Structure 1
Amino acid sequence: MSNDPMAAVLRYVDAFNHGDAKAMAATCADPMQILDGMPPHVWQGSTASEDWWRDVLAEGEHVGASGYHIALGEPRHVDVTGDYAYVVVPASMRFDLHGKQVTQTGSVFTVALRNVGTQWRLAAWAWAKGA
């Protein structure tokens, strides 16, 4: 097992940036929980990540948004206690809104992870939207 749960967080974000829902799901524990600013705000269970991504795409189509890309800053916390980890990372997100590029800064990505076998897996995450 890698002693750095940030590696799993980075794999998840890379999969997000490539729009790869299957790769996002592969980094998650079962069950998984997601808390996000977009309705219905909470997704949970074995398909939480894929369900959330489906809703992201539907919401994006509804409001004219696409091309999402997350950039992470230096982690504020990477706390490991046995098989559990807690990561807090400042983040920004770029996306296109009606053809115009928008950058959302000052966001915070908070992730709880657990060791599954020899891999860190995301057990829950929350996105706190910035400006």
Structure 2
Amino acid sequence: MSNDPMAAVLQYVAAFNRGDAKAMAATCADPMQILDGMSPHVWQGPTAGEDWWGEVLAEAEHVGASGYHIVLDAPRHVDVTGEYAYVVAPASMTFTLRGEQVTQTGSVFTVALRKIGAEWRLTAWAWAKGGRPARSEAAPAEE
């Protein structure tokens, strides 16, 4: 892995885009913390990533969503202080909702990392939703 914390963030996002929970977990430190717009909103501890991903899959099945894909824009911050780093990147997410393509823009992905040995590991991340997702028609009321 690179000496750049952004490389670890991109590795995590690539694993997310593949739906690879084991690869996502491999980029995380123990303990891990996640703050997301999906209820119950906070996951923490050694299995936070796997617990969160299980909730993502359950919610996706419940609402008829699939094919989640995140794209990060150039980061606003990649701040490194010794063995700690802080990354803030504008983001967008596309997915299919009940058979229709949805794009969520204006989101922000914020990540805290810690260097463990020679590798950067995610210690916490938060996803802040942007505006209402755009669909080919109007966004559903529950969005």
TM-score bracket, shorter-length normalisation:
over 0.9
Aligned position for 1:58: 58
Aligned position for 1:115: 115
Aligned position for 1:92: 92
Query: CA RMSD for the aligned pairs?
Result: 0.8
CA positional deviation for 1:121: 0.1
Deviation string for 1:71-101 (max 9, x for gaps)?
0000000000000000000000000000000
Deviation string for 1:25-46 (max 9, x for gaps)?
0000000000000000000011
Deviation string for 1:50-88 (max 9, x for gaps)?
110000000011111110000000000000000000000
Aligned position for 1:80: 80
Deviation string for 1:1-20 (max 9, x for gaps)?
73310000000000000000
The 2-side partners of 1:84 and 1:129 are apart by 25
Aligned position for 1:102: 102
The 2-side partners of 1:34 and 1:126 are apart by 6
Amino acid at match of 1:105: T
SS in 2 for 1:69: strand
Amino acid at match of 2:100: K
The 1-side partners of 2:68 and 2:46 are apart by 24
CA positional deviation for 1:117: 1.1
Q: Give the structure-2-normalised TM-score.
A: 0.90
Amino acid at match of 2:105: T
The 2-side partners of 1:21 and 1:123 are apart by 16
Q: Give the structure-1-normalised TM-score.
A: 0.98
The 2-side partners of 1:86 and 1:15 are apart by 20
Aligned position for 2:32: 32
CA contact (8 A) 2:35 2:126 kept: yes
The 1-side partners of 2:89 and 2:2 are apart by 19
SS in 2 for 1:38: coil
SS in 1 for 2:108: strand
Amino acid at match of 1:123: T
The 2-side partners of 1:46 and 1:118 are apart by 20
SS in 2 for 1:103: strand
